[in-house]
């Protein structure tokens, strides 16, 4: 079996031991069974058990292992080892803009606070019918590209507007979720949802920089969803 050595520079910080963060140089042997960055990280952890990162499904659907990989946010389990150029160290840092708990693990409180602020649940006050609420295939199709979000935070933590105003700007993930409910024919709270976003910061801090689209590991387009909400705001005003 062919093996090769990968060199890493990993952001390390354990508030229990370290006075300040540093970049650790560490390398690991990988073989042809190791296809993804997460495979290499698991091997690294076997070597040095103190390296802390989140991971779970290892197939890009749980959203745990988001990190900043050579300067760009992504999921370790979906990043091909073959995509890294030979001879250059792979630089891993925690997602930018959120407080670091330890090593590659960030405190996501603010991110989820914004997600929760858009009331991420179906609102329909009619008494529930005996059977399913009907929805045509075309109406259901409106939810495609919205409901697949895995809340990994790659998008929001790559967004300069979110870095500057994480407490005031909902951010791309939260706004994508807001539009997911606005677009759902079963939801009755469209006006209330638009009111909730009518504010100089919550929605309108999006300056269509489109980093969110660039990094989304699920290929979703929050900027497009934000554009649709903005258009609905305008339409409602006239």
Partner 1 sequence: MKPKVTVRKFDAVIVGAGGAGLRAAIQLSESGFKTAVLTKVFPTRSHTVAAQGGVAASLGNSEEDHWHWHMYDTVKGSDWLGDQDAIEFMCRKANEVVIELEHYGMPFDRLDNGRIYQRPFGGHMSNFGEKPVRRSCAAADRTGHAMLHAMYQRNVKANTQFFVEWMALDLIRDQEGEVLGVTALEMETGELYAFHAKATIFATGGAGRIFHSSTNAFINTGDGLGMAARAGIPLEDMEFWQFHPTGVAGAGVLITEGVRGEGGILRNSQGERFMERYAPNAKDLASRDVVSRAMVTEINEGRGCGPNKDYVLLDITHLEPDVIMKRLPGIREIAIQFAGVDPIKAPIPVVPTCHYQMGGIPTNYHGQVVVPGKRTQNEIVPGFYAAGECACASVHGANRLGTNSLLDLLVFGKSAGETAVEELKKSPKAHKDLPADAFDRTLERLNRLNTQKDGANVHETRLAMQRTMQKHAGVFRFAHLLKEGVEKILEVQKAVNQTEIKDKSMVFNTARIEALELDNMIEAAVATMVSAEARKESRGAHVRDDCPDTPEHPNGRDDDNWLKHTLWFKEGNRLEYKSVNLRPLTVDTIPLKKRAY
Q: How far is the CB of 98 from partner 1 (least distance, A)?
A: 14
Q: With binding defined as CB under 8 A, does residue 122 bind partner 1? A: yes
Q: What is the DSSP string of the chain?
A: --EEEEEEEEEE--TTT-SS-EEEEEEEEEETT--BHHHHHHHHHHH-TT------SSSSSS---EEEETTEEEEGGGSBGGGSPTTSPEEEEPPTTS-EEETTEE--HHHHHHHHHT--S----SPPPSSPPP--HHHHHTTTTTTT-----TTGGG-HHHHH-TTT--HHHHHHHHHHHHT-TT---HHHHHHHH-STTTTTT-----HHHHH-TT---HHHHHHHHHHHHHHHH-
Contact (CB, 8 A) for 10 and 23: yes
Contact (CB, 8 A) for 162 and 97: yes
Of 19, 131, 167, 238, the one binding partner 1 by CB under 8 A: 131
Q: Which is nearer to partner 1, 77 or 205 (CB)?
A: 77
Q: With binding defined as CB under 8 A, does residue 12 bind partner 1? A: no
Which region, judged by CB under 8 A, interacts with partner 1, from 21-29, 131-139, 159-167, 201-209? 131-139
Q: Which is nearer to partner 1, 105 or 233 (CB)?
A: 105
Of 27, 135, 190, 196, the one binding partner 1 by CB under 8 A: 135
Which region, judged by CB under 8 A, interacts with partner 1, from 1-9, 95-103, 194-202, 206-214? 95-103
Which region, judged by CB under 8 A, interacts with partner 1, from 19-27, 104-112, 195-203, 222-230? 104-112
Q: Which is nearer to partner 1, 94 or 166 (CB)?
A: 94
Extract the tokens encoding 6.
């990968």
Residue 157 main-chain phi, psi, to 5 deg: -85, 5
Q: With binding defined as CB under 8 A, does residue 190 bind partner 1? A: no
Query: Which of positions 22-41 make contact with partner 1 (CB under 8 A)?
Result: 33, 35
Query: From CA 115, how far away is CA 174, in angstroms rounded?
Result: 4
Query: Which of positions 193-232 make contact with partner 1 (CB under 8 A)?
Result: none
Of 1, 2, 19, 134, the one binding partner 1 by CB under 8 A: 134
Q: How many residues bind partner 1 (CB under 8 A)?
A: 57
Q: How far is the CB of 60 from partner 1 (least distance, A)?
A: 7
Query: Rule CB under 8 A: which residues touch partner 1?
Result: 14-17, 33, 35, 45-46, 48-50, 52-64, 78, 101-103, 105, 108, 112, 116, 119-122, 124, 128, 130-137, 139-140, 143, 147-148, 150-151, 181, 184, 186-187
């Amino acid at each position: 079996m062919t093996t090769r050595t990968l060199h890493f520079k990993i952001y390390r910080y354990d508030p229990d031991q370290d006075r300040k963060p540093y970049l650790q140089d560490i390398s690991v042997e990988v073989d042809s069974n190791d296809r993804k960055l997460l495979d290499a990280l698991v091997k690294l952890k076997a070597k040095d058990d103190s390296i802390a990162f989140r991971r779970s499904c290892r197939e890009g659907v749980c959203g745990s292992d988001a990190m900043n990989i050579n300067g760009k946010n992504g999921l370790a389990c979906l990043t091909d080892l073959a995509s890294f150029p030979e001879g250059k160290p792979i630089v891993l840092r925690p997602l930018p803009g959120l407080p670091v708990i330890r090593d590659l693990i960030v405190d996501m409180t603010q991110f989820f606070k914004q997600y929760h602020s858009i009331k991420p649940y179906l609102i329909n006050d009619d008494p529930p019918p005996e059977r399913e609420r009907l929805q045509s295939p075309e109406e259901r199709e409106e939810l495609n590209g919205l409901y697949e979000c895995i809340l990994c935070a790659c998008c929001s933590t790559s967004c300069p507007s979110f870095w500057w105003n994480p407490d005031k700007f909902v951010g791309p993930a939260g706004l994508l979720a807001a539009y997911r409910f606005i677009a759902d024919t079963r939801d009755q709270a469209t006006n209330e949802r638009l009111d909730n976003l009518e504010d100089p910061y919550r929605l309108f801090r999006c300056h269509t920089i489109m980093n969110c689209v660039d990094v989304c590991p699920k290929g979703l387009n929050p900027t497009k969803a934000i554009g649709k909400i903005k258009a609905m705001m305008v339409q409602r005003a006239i």
